Structure 1
Amino acid sequence: MWEIVHDGFVPPIDPENPTQIEYRNVHLNSQATSVLLSALSGDEYNKVMGVKVTKQIWDTLHIAHEGVDKVRKSKIDMLMARLNRFVILDGERMQEMFDRLMAIVGRIRGLGKYELNDHKVVKIMLEAYLPRNETLVTLI
């Protein structure tokens, strides 16, 4: 089914008399379309409503969420800059800081940057929590 989603399919030359392969591909396209559409929220469904070819649905959603590579990379760069400047806010509780940090990390990972492992996230969190004149080295 993934081949139909990723590569698309060619509709039958004679829809009234499809070959076995054409019939199989039409069936797989219908199944894949059904699976994709049933997994979408109302807003997402509205973006692809009326599209019958699974590849077109997939490509539309892909562009809407990841954009072209340049846009995705610039989003990652912007979020990484926010992460590098991350500090605890005045009056912010530890849980609030953690939630804010994990929202940024989740967005970065959602855009495909998986090198941001848990060790790095913990280090960022500890550095954000420390008083501004201390460093991790002084604590170790």
Structure 2
Amino acid sequence: MGKLPHFNRTNFAKWKHLMTAYLIGLHPDIWKVDCNGFEPPVDPKNPTLDEMRIIHLNGQATSVLLSALDGDEYNRVIGVDIAKQIWDTLHLAHEGIDKVRKARIDLLMAKLNRFITMDGEGPQEMIDRLMTMVGKIRRYGCDELDDHKVVKIMLEAYSPRNETIVTLIRDKKKFE
């Protein structure tokens, strides 16, 4: 199954992605319980087989989530025994509500619009830096940043440094 992704309060988006894959890999129903939560049994003293299965899945998801947290993050959710509540608490603490998420996207998009090649930076380093920024923006849920826009930003960032390459690429597009 692979190593449990641990979260130490850095790069929540990456941890969330890895944890999602990990929980689905354990069993898709574990991920469903984590996303959707579950209804407590109608009769807690006499749960049905299906209710027992859901309780078990929640226990598995809760155990995995709690095991993945460092001490400070664990303290944030101590006493919570429903996987969805743990997930939502971590999500809110690290990605915020929609207004905060949109503000973070706006800040990253503004930074992306000012993206330039750094002195002494080669094309691969520039592309790696650009794609890291694009990945952050996309992980916050921005869907307006398609591959065409990314290539345009890359070309504009590279053009002041190497006008010949950018001109050749632009000319090629005219003939296509």
State if a TM-score over 0.5 links the two structures: yes
SS of match in other structure, 1:52: coil
Between the two proteins, what is the percent identity of the paired residues? 62
1:19 aligns with 2:47: yes
What is the letter of the counterpart of residue 129 of structure 1? Y
1:106-125 pair list within 5 angstroms: 106-125=135-154
How far apart are residue 41 of structure 1 and its match? 4.9
1:87 aligns with 2:119: no
1:1-140 pair list within 5 angstroms: 1=29, 2-12=31-41, 15=44, 17-20=45-48, 21-38=50-67, 40-42=68-70, 44-45=73-74, 47-131=76-160, 139-140=170-171
Q: Distance in 1 between matches of 2:147 and 2:73?
A: 31
Q: Distance in 2 between matches of 1:99 and 1:41?
A: 29
What is the letter of the counterpart of residue 86 of structure 2? I
What is the letter of the counterpart of residue 122 of structure 1? V
Contiguous gaps of at least 5 residues in structure 1: none
Q: Distance in 2 between matches of 1:45 and 1:137?
A: 54
Deviations along 1:55-92, whole A, 9 cap, x unmatched?
21111122123210000001111111111111112232
Larger CA deviation: 69-78 vs 116-125: 116-125
Normalised TM-score (structure 2): 0.64
Q: Distance in 1 between matches of 2:83 and 2:91?
A: 12
Q: Aligned pairs, how many?
A: 138
- Say if 1:109 and 1:46 are closer, same or farther in 2 by CA, change over 3 A: farther
Q: Distance in 2 between matches of 1:33 and 1:4?
A: 10
How far apart are residue 33 of structure 1 and its match? 1.6
How far apart are residue 44 of structure 1 and its match? 4.8
Q: Distance in 2 between matches of 1:109 and 1:45?
A: 27
Q: Report the RMSD for the aligned CA atoms in angstroms.
A: 2.9
Normalised TM-score (structure 1): 0.77
